[in-house]
């Protein structure tokens, strides 16, 4: 695959994935409606911290592509990292 093809593929995938992330964040934002949902500030802070940590990790990976990291978020326990 040529450099031009790889660049075009990157742009196509990045645009799609970023738009998907933005959409999913909007759905998370909708969960803040206390008329429809019940949650503690602790739960909200855990979720927002997990999102912030992942964004920080993505920034780090783009700065240093040799880093590879995968972890799923849960409110039901587990590590905070």
Q: How many CB atoms lie within 10 A of CB 51?
A: 15
- To the question of pTM greater than 0.85 for the whole model, the response is no
Size of the chain, expressed as the number of residues it contains: 81
Place of tokens 């500030």: 41
Q: What is the mean pLDDT of residues 23-43?
A: 97
- Looking at the chain, the number of H-run helices and the number of E-run strands are 2, 0
Instruction: Give yes or no for residue 66 having a pLDDT over 90.
Output: no
**Crossing angle for the helix pair 3-30 and 41-63, to the nearest 10 degrees:** 170
> Who's near 28: CB < 8 A, 6+ residues apart?
47, 51
């Amino acid at each position: 695959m040529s450099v031009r093809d790889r660049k075009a593929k990157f742009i196509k995938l990045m645009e799609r994935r970023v738009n998907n992330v933005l959409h999913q964040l909007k759905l998370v934002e909708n969960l803040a409606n206390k008329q429809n949902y019940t949650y503690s500030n602790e739960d909200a802070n855990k979720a927002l911290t997990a999102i912030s940590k992942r964004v920080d990790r993505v920034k780090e990976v783009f700065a240093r592509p040799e880093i590879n990291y995968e972890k799923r978020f849960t409110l039901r326990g587990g590590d905070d990292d």
